Chain A
């Protein structure tokens, strides 16, 4: 390019900077939006790819119906492409927290799927764990606190008291979604990681495979998917062998166990039989012993009786002897008495004699005494003394005689006394002897009686003893009999069990390996789905901008080229060639495009992916977002913008540079007026005011501009409406779910394994509570619906009775008519029906948590917005799975929203309640999510607003410059500023109105399209845009129009009337 030409070009930019900027802005918006939106998805993917690489997330996982072994790992590591295979465990447990049980999935810490530590440290001992932060937030537990794991049968986790040592994020669970569980509410609430040693299991739950080259590839890229597919195919080759090996192994183990069981059974049977026999023998012996004891006792008692009889007889004999003796003694006594009488008489005689002797003696004595006295008397003569002496001698002689006599008498008395004494003694002796005999007899008698009593007592005791023994023995026999029956039953049972085990061995199914890639991870696949949605958005939105950018450049450049007709003609006349002339304009638009595009690109790459990420980070836990500069999209974006903008310029130039200089230098005839169709309809045309006629004619005069205005306004209105529409669609979910479908305020899940009567009473209790309005019982479990290859996780709700109809409305999505459950059929929700491509009346496979499959007919498809549900009549449930039991209650309360929390915590204190979830809480959480959506709306509105502004501004500029003569003439004619303004903007107003109408229609479809592409599997977005959104969209567009009009007003005011005098250039 010549220097002069370049200078001219640059000057042109400075002089017409408004036009330049408007093209620049379009390039900015187009490229910025394109680059930002398109880069968002790859940025998100590379972010998750980085995260997965750093956490060493598996490429392939293998699950088996019979568990996996070290041999499997060895076999897998032999497969080409496999770098390492990791055997891992997982187990769902219940953690006791206050009065609730929290379903928690326990996973091992390992080098595959490495957890990202947030706080604390990695566990070092068996009873230390890492847990999700959300768990701590909910329970208020901190690092260092302990948790109790509820005891369960066959648990492979032995430690029951675990200490939290840190919080983590698991790369396996990037979304908020957790796995389904057979425990509790049917859903895992949180994940927990324990050291691998804490698991005690012979088989692995899952094998994760790390591939050789996968780290170098971007996850979910074609290359990566092909590579994974390739290795999967190779794994398929070992699959069968390993499955069979595992089958044989399991069967062998079971067989061994069975044999062991049988042996043990036999052994135990023998032992038991022996014991039984022993017991029987003991009883028999006991009986024998008892019998002999009885006999001995009888004998003894007989003997004793005889002895007593003898003794009694002896006593009788003794008695009669005593009588005889008594009689004898009496006789003897009588004899003795008579003897004694005689003796006594003799004695009396003797005594009388004695007395007389004694008196004689006394008299003699006295005489002697007198003699002696007389002798002593000195007065007596000797003769007298001799006489007296002789007298004395006589007397003394007589006295001696008498004394002899007396002695004789006395000895007589003595002998009589002796005899008497002898006799009396004899009697006494006899009496005494008799007395003694009598006493002895009496004693003997007494003794005999005592002995008799004692013996009788002893016999009685013995008898009693024998009786108790007998009773005991009888009881013993009874117990023995029952034991025997029991034992026999047990044996029968054991035999049955053995038979069962045998059958089970027969029934052991051939194991199946499930070889799954990352897409089977719900968080990951959800994330990938979302990146696809974003990608789709990125494909649609920028188109609007590019189309409008093209139109804007087209009109701007056309105008510019036309304005410079004469100059172009002059240059041509001066000898510049086509390319040289065109280069000025191409440089002009090219520069605008490049500068605007580059700025847009940089801003787009930096901001849009980040904003989108910010929104998605509410749903996903993937750290370290990477906003990259994507060369491909940069070049593509700039390329498209260049094609649009420079292409548009080229198009206008081609039309003009072909003309001869003479043609160019002659003024171009102004666009001629034409009658329009409307004029041929007089009754409309005549009723239009003059100014309206002018407006209408003008609209039909500048078709290109009209088209551009309408497209521009329609585009921006559509974008704004789409922004609001997306918000409506998502916020609708809640409103519709909680107004159209759910009428309950609380979902109460009960503790597991409560008895029926307890539940019944409990529900009755709740019903009577003032705060509770309505309540309904149901059973809620998780399951899977499958149709062909596609599967979706669902919640199965089985209502106990009709009460549920007031709390959950089942209604046809289209007709809104209420739907009743039909016997033997199920009702499913609309989104899952759509995903699985089934209709009313089709049959579908329902898998329960245990993997049991049933093919069922769909009686109806009902309206639903959040998650997927299957409603099943109770009768069908009982037919399929046996007894129904309530595990969840749906309730409507009477309290105000603010008091609901209080009610919930009050209810939680009930021992039977596990959790209470308030609908209002879920609504709040969702509301927060909705707030993030406002970002989207803001982005869309701002960019749409900019678009509208650029379009309108540009339009106004073109409009003015194109008609400057006309407008100046009007001013000369004496039009007030306001009239000139009206003259111009009436057109704009009409075009804007038309544009808005098209925009609303377009926006409606665009937002439906976008909502469809963004829709998450488990949600059904609303498809209605609410009236206020239409109003806002219109209002925003109108505001932008007004702003532009104000600018126009001042531009019009500045128009110099002298322009009208100039000749037409």
Chain B
């Protein structure tokens, strides 16, 4: 059994009279320490998948297993615990608390986890030692995303979920961020799932899942993932 299993997952949203099928019989599996890139057009179900994996949304039917845990059967409180201990989330718009400095934003996460890492070390790791006492507004977008990554990693999660982490960043900065994610996955043996609409990023992943119309249409495995520095787009 894989580390992460998505079995026959269906997700429907009801908006008034209309039912929208966001996921339809989706199946895939991810192994521990894999760097996974999920690609696909808007509305293909990428974000829904991520939300479900992140414990922010539940499924209509089907099974979701993360590290032998049946996420789809967790109640609200267990879900929070799951998010708290097992998931690191990286947002497109960083979602840093504006009122906290870089290191404090990391602390915000670590203070609620049992096996958290030292915020200072993490901040150093993401290369923000000099700027750790700056507020988000005093940091560039890339720097902010680094803080966000630091915040996610610091929790020492089982799974790092990234929703368009470079969506709001320029090419160069985006690349740096992706590098950081790739390195983290490699060095820490962390399972990382990145959502992007940019198919060019696929080579950097161990596994690429293509989404279309609410289904994981194609799952590719790269035996030899390309280092992000070598990828151009």
Give residues in A with beta carbon < 8 Å to B: 669-675, 690-691, 693-694, 697-698, 701, 965-966, 968-977, 979, 1057-1058, 1060-1061, 1063-1064
Q: Are A672 and B104 closer than 8 Å at their CB atoms?
A: no
Q: Report if B142 contacts A (CB, 8 A).
A: no
Which of B77, B87, B109, B135 contacts A673 (CB under 8 A)? B135
Residue numbers in A under 8 Å from B56 (CB-CB)? 971-972, 1057-1058
Residue numbers in A under 8 Å from B83 (CB-CB)? 971-974
Q: Report if B99 contacts A (CB, 8 A).
A: yes
| A1063–B95 alpha-carbon span in the complex (Å) | 10
Closest Cβ of chain A to B28, distance in Å, is 21
Kindly supply a per-residue 1/0 record for chain B positions 92-123, scoring 1 wherever the CB is within 8 Å of any chain A CB and 0 otherwise: 11010111110010011101110000000000
Closest to A1062 in B: B93
| A701–B135 alpha-carbon span in the complex (Å) | 13
9 contacts between A and B (CB under 8 A): A672-B136, A672-B137, A690-B108, A694-B99, A973-B84, A974-B155, A1057-B56, A1058-B56, A1064-B93
Residue numbers in A under 8 Å from B101 (CB-CB)? 673
Given contacts A690-B108, A1063-B92, A1064-B93, 18 further A-B contacts (CB under 8 A): A670-B98, A672-B98, A673-B98, A691-B111, A694-B97, A966-B95, A966-B98, A969-B91, A970-B97, A971-B56, A971-B83, A974-B80, A974-B84, A975-B112, A976-B80, A1057-B57, A1058-B51, A1061-B92
Closest to B99 in A: A673
Q: Are A973 and B89 closer than 8 Å at their CB atoms?
A: yes
Residue numbers in B under 8 Å from A968 (CB-CB)? 95
Which of A671, A690, A977 contacts B104 (CB under 8 A)? A690
Q: Are A972 and B93 closer than 8 Å at their CB atoms?
A: no
Top-4 shortest CB links A-B? A974-B84, A672-B137, A974-B83, A673-B135
| A693–B103 alpha-carbon span in the complex (Å) | 13
Closest Cβ of chain B to A687, distance in Å, is 16
Which of B57, B85, B98 contacts A974 (CB under 8 A)? B85
Q: Are B51 and A673 closer than 8 Å at their CB atoms?
A: no
Q: Report if B163 contacts A (CB, 8 A).
A: yes
Q: Report if B47 contacts A (CB, 8 A).
A: yes
| A973–B161 alpha-carbon span in the complex (Å) | 12
| A671–B54 alpha-carbon span in the complex (Å) | 28
| A973–B112 alpha-carbon span in the complex (Å) | 9
| A966–B84 alpha-carbon span in the complex (Å) | 16
Q: Are B51 and A690 closer than 8 Å at their CB atoms?
A: no
Q: If A694-B99, A1060-B91 touch, does A973 touch B137 (CB 8 Å cutoff)?
A: no
Residue numbers in A under 8 Å from B57 (CB-CB)? 1057-1058
Closest to A1060 in B: B95
Closest to B137 in A: A672
Q: Are A1061 and B99 closer than 8 Å at their CB atoms?
A: no
Residue numbers in A under 8 Å from B131 (CB-CB)? none
Q: Are B95 and A693 closer than 8 Å at their CB atoms?
A: no
Q: Are A693 and B104 closer than 8 Å at their CB atoms?
A: yes
Closest to B87 in A: A974
Residue numbers in B under 8 Å from A976 (CB-CB)? 77, 80, 84
Q: Are A690 and B111 closer than 8 Å at their CB atoms?
A: yes
Which of A691, A975, A1061 contacts B91 (CB under 8 A)? A1061
Closest to A1063 in B: B93
Closest Cβ of chain B to A344, distance in Å, is 198
Which of A974, A977, A1061, A1063 contacts B47 (CB under 8 A)? A1061
Q: Report if B7 contacts A (CB, 8 A).
A: no
Closest to B50 in A: A1061
Q: Are B99 and A969 closer than 8 Å at their CB atoms?
A: no
Which of A674, A969, A977 contacts B97 (CB under 8 A)? A969
Q: If A969-B95, A1063-B93 touch, does A694 touch B135 (CB 8 Å cutoff)?
A: no
Residue numbers in A under 8 Å from B91 (CB-CB)? 969, 972, 1060-1061
| A125–B104 alpha-carbon span in the complex (Å) | 97
Q: If A973-B108, A1060-B91 touch, does A674 touch B84 (CB 8 Å cutoff)?
A: no
Q: Are B100 and A697 closer than 8 Å at their CB atoms?
A: yes
Q: Report if B212 contacts A (CB, 8 A).
A: no
Closest Cβ of chain B to A669, distance in Å, is 7
| A211–B155 alpha-carbon span in the complex (Å) | 91
Closest to B133 in A: A675
Closest Cβ of chain B to A1065, distance in Å, is 11
Q: Report if B81 contacts A (CB, 8 A).
A: yes
| A966–B151 alpha-carbon span in the complex (Å) | 14
Q: Are B98 and A1061 closer than 8 Å at their CB atoms?
A: no
Closest Cβ of chain B to A645, distance in Å, is 30
| A995–B101 alpha-carbon span in the complex (Å) | 29
| A1058–B104 alpha-carbon span in the complex (Å) | 24
Closest to B111 in A: A690
Which of B97, B113, B163 contacts A966 (CB under 8 A)? B97
| A674–B100 alpha-carbon span in the complex (Å) | 8
Q: If A690-B104, A694-B99 touch, does A673 touch B47 (CB 8 Å cutoff)?
A: no
| A1064–B136 alpha-carbon span in the complex (Å) | 15
Residue numbers in A under 8 Å from B104 (CB-CB)? 690, 693-694
Closest Cβ of chain A to B218, distance in Å, is 25
Greatest chain A CB density within 10 A among B47, B137, B138, B155 is at: B137
Closest to A695 in B: B99
Which of B84, B107, B151, B163 contacts A1061 (CB under 8 A)? B163
Which of A701, A965, A974 contacts B81 (CB under 8 A)? A974
Residue numbers in B under 8 Å from A1057 (CB-CB)? 51, 56-57
Closest Cβ of chain B to A990, distance in Å, is 15
Residue numbers in A under 8 Å from B109 (CB-CB)? 973
Residue numbers in A under 8 Å from B155 (CB-CB)? 973-974
Tell me the residues in window 44-96 of chain B with beta carbons closer than 8 Å to chain A beta carbons. 47, 51, 54, 56-57, 77, 80-85, 87, 89, 91-93, 95
Residue numbers in A under 8 Å from B54 (CB-CB)? 972
Residue numbers in B under 8 Å from A693 (CB-CB)? 104
Closest to A702 in B: B99
| A154–B138 alpha-carbon span in the complex (Å) | 101
Closest Cβ of chain B to A148, distance in Å, is 87
Closest to B88 in A: A973
Closest Cβ of chain B to A63, distance in Å, is 77
Q: Are B99 and A669 closer than 8 Å at their CB atoms?
A: no
Closest to A674 in B: B135
Q: If A673-B100, A974-B87, A1058-B51 touch, does A979 touch B112 (CB 8 Å cutoff)?
A: yes
Closest to B138 in A: A672
Closest Cβ of chain A to B9, distance in Å, is 17
| A973–B83 alpha-carbon span in the complex (Å) | 6
Residue numbers in B under 8 Å from A672 (CB-CB)? 98, 135-138
| A991–B101 alpha-carbon span in the complex (Å) | 23
Residue numbers in B under 8 Å from A979 (CB-CB)? 112
| A526–B171 alpha-carbon span in the complex (Å) | 84
Residue numbers in A under 8 Å from B113 (CB-CB)? 974
Which of B89, B107, B136, B137 contacts A972 (CB under 8 A)? B89
Residue numbers in B under 8 Å from A675 (CB-CB)? 135
| A671–B155 alpha-carbon span in the complex (Å) | 26
Q: If A672-B135, A1057-B56, A1058-B51 touch, does A975 touch B163 (CB 8 Å cutoff)?
A: no
